[in-house]
Structure 1
Amino acid sequence: MKHGTPQPFGQGVSHYENFPVASRLCPPHLRPAIVAIYWFARTADDLADEGNATPQMRLTALAAYRADLMATDAGQPPSLRWASVFNRLRPMILKFGLPIQLLADLLSAFEQDIVKQRYATEDELLAYCKLSANSVGRLLLHLYGVHDERSLQQSDCICTALQLINFWQDLSLDIARGRLYLPADALQAHGVDEAQLLALSLHPSTISLIADCVISARARMLKGSDLVKKIPGRGGWELRLVVQGGLRILDKIEALNFNTLTQRPTLGPWDIVVMGWRALWM
């Protein structure tokens, strides 16, 4: 999974950015559930991305981890290997009725990370975002008791936008690791050769490609942004900051003339002030 993006509905650690660690703005009664799901996700992230295991070893470990999730949901004891994770998660599944399919979707995203480093089309990339990011947003909406279809779609827009922003922010890092999230159909439409990207070589066509990706991510974020008005209390304010954080990263990318092949935009103290001010007016 990717690192360093403003997190859906919260502030996470860099280790696993698609899920929040409960912040001060999170309602206290939800913190145990959020922490339990976070540790579920972080452990899976470790299995998929840490250490020197081979791809097949990682896939085997994730299959065993998935089996423990299914056992936990069925009220059966998990294996000793991850007992601390699932013994923490089980009471939250019972208390909140957490949708197991969304947790399983996260595991599918981790498995995809292991075997897939290229995306042929935008639809293919968005399907990955549905597993890796949208499932997180829907889990959190479930905890907040928000279930209407419009809110779910708005959450999907925000979470997909955050995932895409992370991709466009981290092009220089991901390409160096052999991962290219810019879909092949977009490269073709802009006349960009993959070899140029792998060489981190900047051309007008590349700038145009990244600019279009940024414009699309911003539009998707704004499309979902009214969701902040549906999340009650402090959670709604936290979501406002998350949305503004994603938009601020896009501002930073634009200020770099869309050159994230050789530079990585980051947020500083002044950006936090700007995000807070803009959040007040949402």
Structure 2
Amino acid sequence: MQVTSHKNISLLEAQRYCRRLARAHYENFTVGSLLLPRELRQHVYNVYAYARVADDFADELLSDEESLAKLTDWEHKLEACYQGETDHPVFVALADTIQQFQIPITPFRSLLRAFRQDRMVKCYSTFNDLLGYCQNSANPVGHIFLHLFCYRDPALVPYADAICTALQLTNFWQDIPIDLQKGRIYIPLEDMTSFGYSEAELTQHIYNENFRRLLEFEVERTQELFNRGKGLIPRVGKDIELEIRLFISGGEG
């Protein structure tokens, strides 16, 4: 893939655009962490900017139709990027990252699938259904990071998936009131039933003993995923080990 600039957007300008976009937002994870090798920070900004714009399409637009149309257009821009054609600063910068690290299109597409799901699915019946969502919303980020650090061994992927899914679930358990405002419930409905807690109680912000026991159960399951993901640490080098430990400790904390 040949990286080119279109409509007078230089790579330097595109990188600056992504850097500003990333630094303007704050998440539960560090963007462009100082612990990352300096040569990777801009690439993290580029990936983040791609996901940030798509996430805004999923969250900020009022109608499902408008949101889905924007996400479809963003996917078309992604496909064009992989063909060496781009007319948006995010994709000018991202194309450079994709080329340097030979990142396949699959994880970027998977993220868009999750953003579409955010508009179409408001709750999950089972824990397995929720894990299926995390396969698209969280795990692709781990796949991209493995590429950025030049790890290609497929045996590492399940460990990265466990960490990313656990981090995503942790965000769900922390952000229950925020997600309710968006009309979304991530606690599996079958789990609420098992603990004698109702969707009506949740929407009314009734946090009783049944809710406390339910959340403890979800946190314990999430911890099992963190424990499984720790198997990645002895399988990678010092270049990424500390970052992984911090991601895990931040999620566990």
Indicate conservation of the 8 Å contact 2:159/2:229, yes or no: yes
Instruction: Report what 2:241 is aligned to.
Output: 236
Q: Secondary structure at the match of 2:138?
A: helix
Compared CA separation, residues 222 and 14, structure 1 to 2 (3 A): farther
TM-score (norm 1): 0.77
- Kept in 1, the 8 Å contact 2:163–2:225? The answer is yes
Aligned-partner Cα distance in 1 for 2:97–2:157: 21
- Superposed CA RMSD: 1.9
Counterpart mapping for 1:127-166 below 5 A: 127-166=132-171
- 1:194 is aligned, of 184, 191, 199, to 199
**Residue in 2 aligned with 1:36?**
46
- Per mean C-alpha deviation after superposition, the further-off stretch among 195-204 and 151-160 is 195-204
- Aligned equivalents of 1:223, 1:245: Cα separation in 2: 16
The TM-score with structure 2 as length reference comes to 0.85
**1:70 — aligned with what?**
79
1:19–1:142: structure 2 CA closer, same or farther, 3 Å change rule? farther
In 2, Cα distance between the equivalents of 1:102 and 1:19?
Answer: 19
Q: Which runs of 5+ in 1 are unaligned?
A: 1-11, 249-282
1:13 and 1:175 mapped to 2: Cα distance? 27
The separation in 2 between residues aligned to 1:128 and 1:233, in whole angstroms, is 31
Residues 135, 37 of structure 1: CA spacing in aligned structure 2 closer, same or farther, 3 A cutoff? same
Could you say which residue in structure 1 is the equivalent of 2:190?
185
Q: By how many angstroms is 1:241 displaced? A: 1.0
Alignment of 1:16-95 (within 5 A): 17=27, 20-50=30-60, 52-78=61-87, 83-95=88-100
Query: What is the percent sequence identity of the aligned residues?
Result: 36
Separation of aligned partners in 1, 2:184 and 2:121: 8
Q: Could you list the runs of 5+ residues in structure 2 that have no partner in the other structure?
A: 1-21
In the alignment of these two chains, the number of paired residues is 232
Does the aligned pair in 1 maintain the 2:101–2:150 contact within 8 Å? no
> For the residues of structure 2 that align with 1:56 and 1:29, how far apart are their CA atoms?
39
Query: Which runs of 4 or more aligned residues in structure 1 lie more than 6 Å from their structure 2 counterparts after TM superposition?
Result: none
